[in-house]
Amino acid sequence: MRVANSVRESRPLIALAAPIAGIQLAQVALTTTDLAMMGLLGVQAIAAGGLAITLYNQVRTMCVGVVTAVGNMVAAAVGRGESRVGTDRLDEQADDEIRQVVRAAFLVATIIGLLAGGALVGLSYSLVWFGQDSRILELARPMMIALSFGLVPMLWLNVLRQFAVGMRRPGSLLWVTIGSVGVNALLNGAFIYGWMGLPTLGLTGIGCATSFVNLLTCTAFFLIVRRDSHLGPLLSIRGRRADLAKVREILRLGIPISATYGSEAGLFSVAALIMGSFGPAALAAHNVVIQLTYIIFQVTIGLSHGSSILVSRVISKGEVDAAKQIARTALTLGALVMGVTGVIYLVAPKLVLLPFLDPNEAAEVLPIAKTLLLIAIVQQFMDCAQNIGVGLLRGLGNTKSGFTITLIGYWAVGLPVLVVFAYGFGLRGTGVWLGLCAGLAVTATLLLRRFHHDLSLITPARTAALI
């Protein structure tokens, strides 16, 4: 009976999280394909390209954070509308509020994307101050510039995605994202090797392909959403008519989320820079293992976003016990996935590492990568718990605490441990990854404690005032 109840309680979360995770996995397949193509170009290419993608992901993640709360805002509007009507149908007030949220989100996404593109270009010229190999910088800089052009359509796509997730209809994006993987692989080859009359750009071509795929995917999903009978009537992209109050609300919630995401991504970016100081082989090994953990991390993102949206919806109705059950279910499912992945890493490390390495240079990188992969087994559990914790807090409308907690976990604990272990104890790459584990563990613990504390303060009277 208990097992049956657990399965039944997990169904709403799985139904929402699975498509989101599928979308995330399909998106990460883009960068996985990129990394595999870099491997064909040699260790220097995979080191430079991996560095470029790491820093691009830093900027991209912070941008996405600004519009992430859009899904929660839509879900809360849906919950309030359902409470007023007393059914799963929405009233006119909810429809209008959702349109205002989406319209404001497109305006925010456009401005943030343009600013971020300029920041990424500037960052590509500042790497010389961080002690990187000059040849690595020559390869990484033009790729980062090419990647900057895809930030605006990428953010538009994320607004559409958050809108669909908030309405609990994320599945329509999955097939578009899967199709983009094949297009990305074709364009990678075309730009790298000059197929179909295109210029031969080498590593820079991977950045061009990624930006072009972002534009194509955004266009395709926009057309799908516009034709959807549930989503189409609520879709509004006229940023010039945006309600400034909604713009301020998106920024109020989104900037702390962006800072939280940036805090985590920043620690990983610093880790990549430190690994680069140990030579191309260490950086290449780090990039490969990071990519592997990044693949599995997408399942965690699905659980985080799914649980966050569900918590926003049930809290808007005053259902505190339901929010607690959602949290338990998300953490349990995450632990199961991380456990299965850890067993695979332990049993068959070569099987998962070799596809990303040039056979002629694998002997130099593989021993380092295998050691890092063992530590990654523990790191994934910590990363899963902290990401779900951030999502749960966001579901309660608390986006500021996550940033404060990450400052403590990542920078007050993780970075000092990383530096001491890597340099003070002479553990180099191993020390870097032990520091990442320490930072993530502290962050996860503090986030989950804060969620339960905030949840205990919520009363039906408080939520009723929002309806």
Q: Which residue has the higher pLDDT, 86 or 74?
A: 74
pLDDT at res. 50:
77
Residue that the structure tokens 């320490």 belong to = 438
Q: Which residue has the higher pLDDT, 3 or 95?
A: 95
Encode pLDDT of 360-391 as tens digits.
667 778 888 889 999 999 999 999 999 999 99
Confidence check: pLDDT of 224 > 60:
yes
Mean pLDDT of the chain: 84
pLDDT at res. 42:
74
Two tokens, residue 379: 């790191």
pTM: 0.76
pLDDT at res. 130:
66
Dihedral (CA of 103, 109, 112, 113) sign: negative
Of the ranges 266-270, 276-280, 425-429, which is most confident?
Answer: 425-429
Encode pLDDT of 402-413 as tens digits.
889 989 999 999
Give mean pLDDT, residues 435-441.
94
**Cα dist from 43 to 208, 241, 280, 364, 379, whole Å:** 21, 50, 7, 10, 25
Q: Give the separation between CA 91 and CA 79, rounded to whole angstroms.
A: 11
Q: Indicate left, alpha or beta for 197 from its phi (over 0: left) and psi (-120 to 50: alpha).
A: left
Q: Give the separation between CA 6 and CA 334, rounded to whole angstroms.
A: 14
Whole domain around residue 257: which residue ranges? Answer: 2-464
pLDDT at res. 382:
93
Decide: residue 4, CB within 10 A, 0-12 exposed, 13-18 middle, 19+ buried: exposed
Confidence check: pLDDT of 75 > 90:
no
Count up the domains in the chain and report the number.
1
Encode pLDDT of 282-316 as tens digits.
888 888 898 888 888 888 988 998 899 899 888 88
Two tokens, residue 249: 């609300």
